[in-house]
Amino acid sequence: MRAPLPGIVTCLHGVWGSDEPSAGTANISSARLEELLSLLSNTTRIVPLADLLERIERGRSTYGLSAVTFDDAYLSVRDLALPLLERHRAPACVFVVSGAAREGARYWWDRIEDLHPRTRPERWRQLEEAAGLPQAYRDGQPGDLGPLRPLRQWLLAEHRGRAPGALDEGLSRLEEELGWRTAQRSMTMEELRGLGRHELISLGVHTETHAALALLPDADVHREIDSCYRALQDQQLRVLPVLAAPFGLVDSRTARLAADCGMRSTLLVSARSLWGGVTLSAVPRMMMSEPRRGWRLLLNLTGAADAGRTLLGRRSPLAPPLPSATS
C-alpha cells in the first residue's frame, strides 16, 4: 500500500555485484538497489523524470511521486540496474558524460577509491606527492571525512573536477603495479545507443568532462553543456534537455547559463525531497549510497528528516559548499 509521501528524485551512480564490490560509497550494490526500488514502489509511484519536471513546471503537486536517476552512465547501469528496473517497471534517466562515453573511460574518483584500500600507505603518499597535492589540503580537511578527502577537494577546487595528467599517469602506473583496475566505467556511445532504445530509459546531460561548473568561466560552462548535448544528439539518441550538475556543485549563475544552453532544468544533489516546493532551475536529488539503508533510508524518503531539519532551522542546503583547502 502506497503512503502519501512527498515527491522525491533519487540520485544513483554505479552498481556492483557481490563478485566485484566497489569501495566508493556513491556506488551501491545490486542488493541495495533492489531494496531501494522495492521501497519506492511500495511507497510512491515511480514516474519518468520528464513527467515529474512537467508537474513542477506547471505548479502541480508531486506528492506520492518519485523519479530515479543515474549519473555518469556507468556500464553497470545497463548490466546490473536495468534488470531490476524492468522487474519494478521503474523508468530511469541516465546522465551522460560525453567525453567519457567516447571510449568507455574510467573516472578518477572510482580509480582512487578502489585503488586506495589495495595500496600501502607509503606508496599512496608517493602517488599524492607526485601528483602535486599541496600540504594545505592535508592540514585543512577534517580528518573524520576520510583519507581521500584532501585529494578529492584539491581536484575539485584547483583542477575544477578534472584529473591532471600527473595524477592520471600515477594512477595508471599503480594499476599496472597491482595488476588491477576498477570495474566501473562509462558506457560507450554504442552501448548507450542500445540502452537508449529501452522503453524505461531516458538520457540527460552531465557535461563533456564532468567539470565542476560553478568554478568555470561562463564560456567554459557553455562549452561543457552544449558539447555534451550536441554529442548525444549527433548519436541520434533521445536526450532530455536536462542538466545534472557534476558533483552537485551549482549556483544561480550555473543554472542561468544552463538555461541559455537550452536546458529545461538543472538538477542538484541534496538531502532534500521536493517537500516545500522547488523550481526547475534547482531540483534537488537525494544521493542514494551504500551505507544508507533501512530506517535511515525510509526517514529520508518520507521527507521526515527534511521536515525535522526545517523545523530546527537546519534544512539541508540545495547544493554542497564550493570546495577549498579547508572545506
In order along its 327 residues, the chain shows pLDDT tens digits of 455 577 999 999 999 998 888 888 899 999 999 999 999 998 899 999 999 999 999 999 999 999 999 999 999 999 999 999 999 999 999 999 999 999 999 999 999 999 999 999 999 999 999 999 999 999 999 989 999 999 999 999 999 999 999 999 999 999 999 999 999 999 999 999 999 999 999 999 999 999 999 999 999 999 999 999 999 999 988 899 999 999 999 999 999 999 999 999 999 998 888 887 789 999 999 998 865 555 566 666 665 555 555 555 555 566 678 899 998
Q: Dihedral of CA 304/310/313/317: which sign?
A: positive
In the numeric block, the cell 532551475 is attached to 281
- Homologous superfamily of 8-104+185-311 in CATH? Glycoside hydrolase/deacetylase (3.20.20.370)
Q: Where are the domains of the chain?
A: 8-104+185-311, 108-178
Q: Scanning the structure block, which residue is given the C-alpha cell 560525453?
A: 98
Determine if the pTM surpasses 0.85: yes
Which residues sit opposite 69 in a β-bridge?
11, 93
From the list 238, 198, 236, the residue with the least C-alpha distance to 81 is 198
Instruction: Report residue 325 as a C-alpha cell.
Output: 583547502
